[in-house]
């Protein structure tokens, strides 16, 4: 009896292979298409060459704070920091010649370097050793075609000229000692100089020790001279170590940093920024801060006659160079503001400093402090300090230049356009 006769309702055996083949072919086709579109893009780079697609260069925007230094530095949004020159040695104070060429002292090496940037690419074209063999040079200043250099015990004056073109040409000659007897030796050996609106030369001389009565009244003071070195006088006293000073662009007053004494603990006494006036006594060694009597000299009557600081700063921050940003290039919010380099502590249980701080100033005279802001940080890391900012200056290109004696480099800070 056949299957048809048995009443079985299965497909007849002769037609099964034809339908099975069609179904299998259709299924395999679908699976192949799925595999192609799902798997092939992932495999393609591994199994064959891919045409190179060039990604457009990303444009920096004002929302980014760009760091091009290779160090973990942090800067506010809208600004860029880069290395202008490096491997310079322990660079200290800076000055600009009439063509915008940056000069810097290398105190430990006895040199003055010139760092031209002829092509204006934000990098020094070369490092020119302008002067060598000096005795701890520090402060630099230009006045009427002369370059002035402050060594630890004297002030030198050079004939100076520079010209620009395809190459920079600097001529320097006739070194002349115009001040030969600055107090020297002791703990504070750097000498900073500058020329005021009155055409006089000012020189800061630090104290010979931490806390003592000086026998030489020219120490712990700012001195004033005629441009030829004559007419020496003590302009202000009681300034333990005013390494940096600048003239306010509106008031024409001297604003000077001052480093307080050591060994009163982590938080005393405050470091200071003073407005220095002729005849002023700014406290050291008898007082600190707002006329606080120093325990080493219990003399409240003397302390009461001293001039309080304009700004008090965390003890041991070691403020050194400072500058006023008297330019619109950073924007109106920054114009006229004060920038200060905090060199950093050496004997505080928790280190402090190692940064550049901005003080926002306002008022008709732009001398009222509204707030302070950490402008550049990151030199201090858990593994130690990567750098110590020293001096700060506004360049001819309206960028800000910062020297770093530990990192042995100079940074350039500009606004991202």
Predicted confidence (pLDDT) per residue in 172-200, tens digit: 999 999 999 999 999 999 999 999 999 99
Sheet with 201-205, strands from edge to edge, namely 191-195, 201-205, 221-225, 233-237
pTM: 0.85
Answer left, alpha or beta for residue 136, where phi above 0 means left and psi between -120 and 50 means alpha: left
Q: How high does pLDDT run on average in the chain?
A: 88
Is residue 33 scored above 90 in pLDDT? no
Angle at 380 between CA 409 and CA 72, to 5 degrees: 65
d(CA 382, CA 395): 33
152-161 burial, b at 16+ Cβ within 10 Å, e below that, comes to bbbbbbbebe
CB atoms within 10 A of CB 410: 24
Give the closest residue to 68 by CA, choosing from 89, 90, 87, 84.
Answer: 84
* pLDDT class of 14 with cuts at 50, 70, 90: very low
316-344: pLDDT as tens digits: 999 999 999 999 999 999 999 999 999 99
d(CA 124, CA 136): 24
HSE value, Cβ hemisphere, 13 Å, CA-based, for 289 = 11
d(CA 155, CA 207): 18
What's the CATH superfamily of 66-415? TolB, C-terminal domain (2.120.10.30)
For residues 150 and 127, the answer to whether their CB atoms sit within 8 Å is no
Beta strands in 259-332 (DSSP E): 271-276, 287-288, 292-293, 311-313, 319-325
Give the closest residue to 239 by CA, choosing from 204, 264, 192.
Answer: 204
Q: Which residue has the higher pLDDT, 61 or 72?
A: 72
User: Quick one: how far is CA 262 from the chain centroid?
Assistant: 25
Q: Which residue has the higher pLDDT, 20 or 270?
A: 270
Helix (H, G, I), strand (E, B), or coil: what is residue 6?
A: helix
d(CA 181, CA 176): 14
**Could you tell me the sign of the dihedral formed by the alpha carbons of 140, 408, 336, 259, in that order?**
negative
pLDDT of residue 50: 28
Count H helices, E strands: the chain?
Answer: 3, 29
Q: Please identify which residue in the block is written with the tokens 């700014």.
A: 282
For residues 235 and 256, the answer to whether their CB atoms sit within 8 Å is no
- What does residue 38 show for φ and ψ, rounded to 5 degrees? -90, -40
pLDDT of residue 38: 38
Q: Which residue has the higher pLDDT, 150 or 37?
A: 150
Tell me what the mean pLDDT of segment 42-46 comes to. Answer: 31
Is residue 79 scored above 60 in pLDDT? yes
d(CA 168, CA 162): 7
Give the closest residue to 205 by CA, choosing from 184, 225, 226.
Answer: 184
pLDDT of residue 15: 40
103-149: pLDDT as tens digits: 999 999 999 999 999 999 999 999 999 999 999 999 999 999 999 99
Distances (CA, A) of 103 to 139, 206, 263: 11, 23, 36
* pLDDT class of 167 with cuts at 50, 70, 90: confident
Of 26-30, 187-191, 300-304, the poorest mean pLDDT is in 26-30
* pLDDT class of 361 with cuts at 50, 70, 90: very high
H or E element that contains 41? helix 16-47
* pLDDT class of 52 with cuts at 50, 70, 90: very low
Give the closest residue to 179 by CA, choosing from 160, 198, 211, 202.
Answer: 202
């Amino acid at each position: 009896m056949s299957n048809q006769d048995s009443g079985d309702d299965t497909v007849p055996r002769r037609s099964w292979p034809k339908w099975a083949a069609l179904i299998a072919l259709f299924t395999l086709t679908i699976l192949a298409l799925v595999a192609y579109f799902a798997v092939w893009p992932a495999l393609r780079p591994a199994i064959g060459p891919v045409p190179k697609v060039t990604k457009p260069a990303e444009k920096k925007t004002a929302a980014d704070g760009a760091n091009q230094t290779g160090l973990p530095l942090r800067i506010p949004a809208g600004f860029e920091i880069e290395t202008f020159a490096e491997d310079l040695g322990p660079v200290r104070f800076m000055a600009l010649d009439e063509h915008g060429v940056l000069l810097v002292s290398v105190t430990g090496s006895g040199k003055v370097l010139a760092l031209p940037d002829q092509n204006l690419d934000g990098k020094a074209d070369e490092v020119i050793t302008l002067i060598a063999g000096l005795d701890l040079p520090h402060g630099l200043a230009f006045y009427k075609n002369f370059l002035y250099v402050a060594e630890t015990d004297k002030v030198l004056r050079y004939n100076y000229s520079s010209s620009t073109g395809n190459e920079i040409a600097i001529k320097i000659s006739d070194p002349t000692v115009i001040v030969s007897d600055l107090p020297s030796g002791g703990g504070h050996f750097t000498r900073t100089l500058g020329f005021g609106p009155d055409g006089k030369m000012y020189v800061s001389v630090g104290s010979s020790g931490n806390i003592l009565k000086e026998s030489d009244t020219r120490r712990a003071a700012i001195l004033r001279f005629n441009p030829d070195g004559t007419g020496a006088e003590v302009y202000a006293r009681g300034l333990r170590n005013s390494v940096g000073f600048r003239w306010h662009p509106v008031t024409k007053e001297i604003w000077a940093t001052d480093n307080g004494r050591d060994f009163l603990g982590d938080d005393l006494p405050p470091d200071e920024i003073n407005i220095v006036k002729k005849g002023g006594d700014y406290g050291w060694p008898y007082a600190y801060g707002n006329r606080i009597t120093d325990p080493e000299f219990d003399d409240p009557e003397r302390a009461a006659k001293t001039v309080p600081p304009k700004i008090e700063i965390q003890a041991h921050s070691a403020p050194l160079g400072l500058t006023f940003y008297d330019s619109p290039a950073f924007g109106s919010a920054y114009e006229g503001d004060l920038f200060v380099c905090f060199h950093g502590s050496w004997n505080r249980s928790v280190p402090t400093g190692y940064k550049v701080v901005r003080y926002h100033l306002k008022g008709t005279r732009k001398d009222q402090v509204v707030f302070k802001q950490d402008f550049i940080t990151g030199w201090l890391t858990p593994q130690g300090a990567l750098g110590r900012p020293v001096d700060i200056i506004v360049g001819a290109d309206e960028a800000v230049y910062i020297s770093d004696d530990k990192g042995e480099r100079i940074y350039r800070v500009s606004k991202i356009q």
